[in-house]
Structure 1
């Protein structure tokens, strides 16, 4: 790997032992990937403050500096923890104080996490605590090299914002945060951002349930490749593209997609493929839509619903407003809980607009910082849950061993109010 003079100086210890260890990790990482150089970055999103069992054990042994050295730098030495060199934010992590008494999430976990937040925020980590940092202020510009974790955030950044990142891990983001460097390979290179598969839909997407199902289909077809979608799809909004990308990254490993005329790297179909010849199109129609819906509901069997989950990826203000409107003047069924997951910054706005109060009057909760899949918790006794997220319908049954129902937001709120699942697939809007 070719290093600049500044990078060689960091590797040789000019900026301290921690930075030298970080550069050593990044060089080894880049060489393993076949990267020829490092990219400069000023935008890192990782999970530094999230106390995993391994981090907690290291913290109790030698403090957070020790945990950072081992987990983020692959370094067993006792070193001082430096300030972040570039803007660095914390993605979602465990639940905070507001979770006490609401969910089975240990008080000790909350205390350790608060301690980690205090330590790392003093070192320059911005604790956004959300899987959707782009909703609360971390909005990279087109063409910017960034170093992000979290599959749904990565696919949104690459595809919708036109930033450039691979799906990084705790070590690479930790090292990037104190060096401002990340290996320049994969999605950082223009030639690796062109489409590989063409998918043609004969259906118009009429909401984010449709976008979620379409994304789940696309991810299953292309796996880790780069799909290009064509057809009269309709005009997606932020929630639509958020759910499409999250679903595609769950059923496959999609880190970038193109919708010609909608996403910034694909002004035209030809541009999406970099001028290369177009592959044969894979069709998405009524039969495929029905099959995806049935597969997402294949784990549901019992109609009694204990738990309704909305907000994966974290809900936007518009989504919270919709839930509040649907719950206004109603009450949840006895024995059924509703959690709406959102960034803490958006929770503050929802509080101010009265939406949180409306949801809470109905018996629901607006929660922040994490989600049941990330923290591996659900209401005590949960056997059956319902969600409007294809991503959570994919992951949560495997993580918690519970049944899942997938449907629209309206169907999920109805399940919370009645305690029963009555969802069904609405007819598709076929493009003639």
Structure 2
């Protein structure tokens, strides 16, 4: 079964090479229309997944990731519109040069081919992936989690109808409907047909892909995110940024996990922090120095600094210098998103230069690490590695390039 899916996807990727930007945008518009016209069907399928998830004891953060609402579908469709409005990178030519041999050499951006995406309880990811892969002329094979099976089956059926309605190969987008985990291992060996694997899930899933795939794997999406409050930070504004980073949507990968506070302001700032976040039901766990300042903070274990909370829990640590903050981040970060709040330009520059994460912020919330917020329309993943792509992966990250040499019946001397 899986071989048939992969072969069909490869053929669809060849068909997509001939699709113009106008044709691809037309397909995306059709997908958007099918989603908006069938909201009730989608939400009914999602309700089945939500009920099953609750019965199976999924925690609140996973249920939040699983949930689709009419408003969330509207947001998803708005992101499709954004992707439609973006420039198509495919076909762009660059680095052209005339060689002494007479050969004119240039590079042209082309699709990767077939992209396999393995993800968990995030049905909105289905649409994000489809919109970005189609716009860049890539076929995709989707393997969502069993928690989202009804939602994903419904979404992909609607996507297929939309593609067929505008003359596209229906196999441009395919879903592995069987939740059997052995199929993941089988997919990871399909290097004859699949050009890239993107796992969007926890550390266990990513490690399985790294250890078993014969296909290049893009890792990322695990975000142990830090925010350092420097001694010169505006404390009132800092509280607002921290609340946004932690509370706005605690179940996502760009939410704040560990707060580092400069010791020069800790005695003044931490009680304000406890009151502010206490109103939002945030559970605070901190080092002994932070507890000595405010007893409402619970003790933290050293391993907790390596935890992506995905909930209303926040770790706190007091540090003596910006260098100590950088060292802590180097030790515990997953290289996703880290931020400094400061009025000291020298410290800001040092932080940006020294923190080796995919996204580094100065005086901003980590919640901005998102394809939509970055103006990419959506994202297929947030890469925390260094090769090929880094940070939120939009259209450009789903292309490669080929060299094109043009001559006049040239031969090499």
Decide: shared fold, TM above 0.5: no
TM-score, length-scaled by structure 2: 0.26
Q: With CA pairs under 8 Å and 6+ residues apart, which has the higher RCO, 1 or 2?
A: 2
More strand by share: 2
TM-score, length-scaled by structure 1: 0.25
